[in-house]
Every structure is written in structure tokens, then in C-alpha cells.
Chain A
Amino acid sequence: MSSVLGINSIRFILLLLLQVIICSHINFLGYINPYIYIIFIFLFPIKEERLILLIVSFLLGMLVDMFLDSGGVHAAASVLLAYARPVFLKTSFGMLYEHQSIKFSNTELGSLITYVTLGTFTHHLMLFSLEVFNISGILLILKKTLFSSIFTIILSILIIILFSRNKK
């Protein structure tokens, strides 16, 4: 139990720092940034209480908002992702989720990609809608969502594989 808590705390801090120090300043082609801190929400243990996930996600988003001066956009988007997570888990992993026996370290790559893709698009769409906050900027929202999502998905999958496969 304590090791789960320890791993998640370390993951929380490392991802937050990685996000605000490096990933938010990449600005690829001027505006494309990956938001890899949501890996924390993806990998949060499934057996834990959902309420805890909601609160921790809110905290994580709030801290990112504090560093990036973005009001509350990351907090809102993270809470949405945390709330919608069971739906994505069910669609991507199916029976495995029903039996509460998913281990992210040894799932099929295809399911993992589906899961991360669904989650990232939801999170980013909410994030950029709130950031632009203007219905006439719908094209800008979609453009930012698409490109940033691609960036985030690639990085997330790589990070998840790199840091979990060898623990088998």
C-alpha cells in the first residue's frame, strides 16, 4: 500500500516538474506543446477510490495552472478526464476492466494506445476550449487540440512503455 502511495507521489512531482520546466516551453512550430502530466491520471491505480483520483487530479491541474498562469483551465480539464476515465477504460480494455485486473505494465499495446488517445483528445479539447473561450475561435481550438494531442499521445505512450515494461 505504502509503495503505491510512494510511487504515485513521486510520479506526481516528477510529471509536474517535467511539464512546467520543459514541456510547456517547447512551443514546436510556435504553439504546439505536449501536456504529459495527464499520464499521472492515466496510470492512477484502478482499485483506488474514484473520489481520491478526482481530488488529486484537481490538485495537479491547479498546480499546473499556477505555474503557467492559465486561470483554471488545466484543473477543469484534468477533473473531466479523471471523471470520464472509467468510460475510456471500459471501451479500450473491455473485460479486463470488468475484472479489475488491468496492469498497465503488461497490457496490449493496441488497447493502451486507444485508452491514451481517447483520454488525451477529451482532455485537450476541454483544455483549449476553455483557454480560447470564444466560440468564433473554434478552428483555432480544433487545430490546437489536434496537433497538441498527437504530440502528447506519442510522448505519453513512449514514457509509459519506457518506465513500466522492464518492471515485469
Chain B
Amino acid sequence: MQQIFNFVIRNKTFLLFLFLFSIGLALTIQSHSYHRSKFINSANALSGGVYGTVNSIDKYFDLEKENEILAEENKRLKEQLFNSVNSENNAVIDTTISRENYRITTADVYKNSYSSTNNFLTINKGKNDSIKQDFGVITSKGIIGIIDNTSKNYATVLSILSKKSRINAKLKNSNHIGSLTWNGKTPEFVQLIDVSKFAPVKVGDTIVTGGQSSIFPKGINIGSIESFETDISGDTYTIQVKLFNDMTNIGTIYILENRDRDEILKLQRSSNE
């Protein structure tokens, strides 16, 4: 017994180091395993408050740019509106909203990151605004990611610029689907993998969300095809997608809640059993 005590006292620095280091390591491993709420995240009053203060000063510098983006979006929506009176075949986003499956909330981005391998955004809406895990997040130009953790007034968003994110996507002009992933290199490009080799892939074509995931409605813009190649087995294409969004500059976002999500998930679960 005496010896054990002596050992502990003699090596107390090393033991404490080992203890704290393993906590850090455990938290790291936990954050790398797929998509479960992280123990420590920036959706809390302290970091949310600090980021909020900074953001309230910071956003004045972007007002002009924000205005331009809004005007552009208005223009596009007006175009869709006027054109749909004449011909009722386009405006994909419009039809889903008019069925009122999706509730839309706007939010400000308090923190954005794009340089690490798993990127998260912090936004200023949370449980008090009925934001929950797995809601979709988009801007006027394209998709951003999926809500990860929420606190009372803040939430974190798992960006599409993350090795953990896999979003269902398809080619705009056919129904061939694939998974959207990110290789961690540049924030301009994401990769669409597992696209069937029968798909009519052309450089410059648009990639949109596939609507199979019950998070995003079908047909939200993601990006355009920059280049493509067949993978090693030769059965599927791997496509480089240039994002419409500038992920390094995001001010205001829309959060999408699919009201039918629970129903869809329940149905899928019951047919799996």
C-alpha cells in the first residue's frame, strides 16, 4: 500500500498528464465518430454570446454585399413567379414550399469555419425557435449543411465541408443519384461519389439535392460539374462539384424543417423491420 502511494506521489505530474490527455483524446475520437451530439460545442451561452457581440459589429461591413445578394434573390424569385403564371413547369423550390411541407426560419451566421477537416457554423437560432437536430440549412444560392447541436438560443451546423457529412444529391437533368462528400482540400469543391456509370454526366451540368434524405426538399441547387472520372472499380463516377455558394462568405441562412420528416422516418423504420 505504502509503495502504491509513493508511486502515485512520485509520478503525480505524469499521471495527471495522462489523465487529462486521455480526456482530450476521448473527446477527439468522439467528435470523429459519425454525427452524434458532441459533448463540447459552441452552441452555448458563453461562446454564442461572444460570437454574437462580434457579429453585431462585424455585419455592418458586409451590408452592401448582403443587399446585393438579397436583390439578386428577389430578382430570381420574381422571375420564377412571373414565368410560372405563363408556364407551370419550372420553379422546383416553389412547388415544395406551396405544399407547405417545409417551414423556413432565417438566421445569422455567428461563426463560420472552412479550413479544418470537419467544419461547423454557429448560428443565432436554437431550441427557442423550434430548431432541432437534422434540419437542413441553405442560402439563396445553395445548401450549407445540417443542424448538429442546439442550445436554447444557438445551434451548430455541420457544414457540407466535412468528412462526416454525406448528403443525397442528383444530376439536375436526370434522376441518377450519388452521395455528396468532401475530401478536405479546398472549400470551393465537393465530391459527388457513387454515381452510376450510365448517368449522362457532362461538364457544366448542375447538381441538385436528391430529396431522398427527408432533410432537404428535392431540387435545391448545390453546384456545377467541374470534372469527372470513373473510380478504380470502373462502375461509378466520382464528380468534382464546384459549389454555387462561396462557403467562405456566408451571412444569412435559411433553416428548413420538413414537417413530414417524422412520418417518413417512421414509415421507413416500420418497413425495415
Chain A residues within 8 Å of B, Cβ to Cβ: 17, 20-21, 24-25, 27, 30-33, 50-51, 54-55, 58, 61-62, 65-73, 75-77, 79-80, 82-83, 130-133, 137, 140
Contacts and interface: CB of A to CB of B under 8 A. Distances in A.
B181 to A, nearest CB: 14
Contacts of B51: 67
Interface in B2-55: 12-14, 16-17, 20-21, 23-32, 38, 40-42, 44, 46-47, 50-51, 54
Given A58-B20, A137-B184, A71 B12 contact: no
Interface stretch (B64-72, B113-121, B138-146, B251-259): B113-121
Contacts, number: 111
What DSSP secondary structure best describes chain A's contact surface? helix
B174 interface: no
Contact-residue size bin, chain B (C-beta under 8 Å from the other chain): 35 or more
Contacts of B31: 70-72
Contact of A71 (B17, B21, B38, B54): B38
B20 A75 contact: yes
B105 interface: no
A33 B119 CA distance: 14
Contacts of A71: 27-32, 38, 40
Contacts of A24: 113
B191 interface: no
Interface of B: 12-14, 16-17, 20-21, 23-32, 38, 40-42, 44, 46-47, 50-51, 54, 111-118, 120, 122, 156, 184, 186-187, 248
A20 B122 CA distance: 13
Which of A20, A70, A130 neighbours the largest number of chain B CB atoms within 10 Å of its CB? A70
A75 B24 contact: yes
Nearest to A50: B13
Contact of B41 (A33, A66, A75): A66
A51 B16 contact: yes
A54 B12 CA distance: 11
A20 B51 CA distance: 9
B16 A75 contact: no
A69 B118 CA distance: 9
A152 to B, nearest CB: 14
A137 B111 CA distance: 26
Contact of A68 (B17, B42, B248): B42
Given A30-B115, A51-B16, A54-B16, A67 B25 contact: no
A97 B116 CA distance: 37
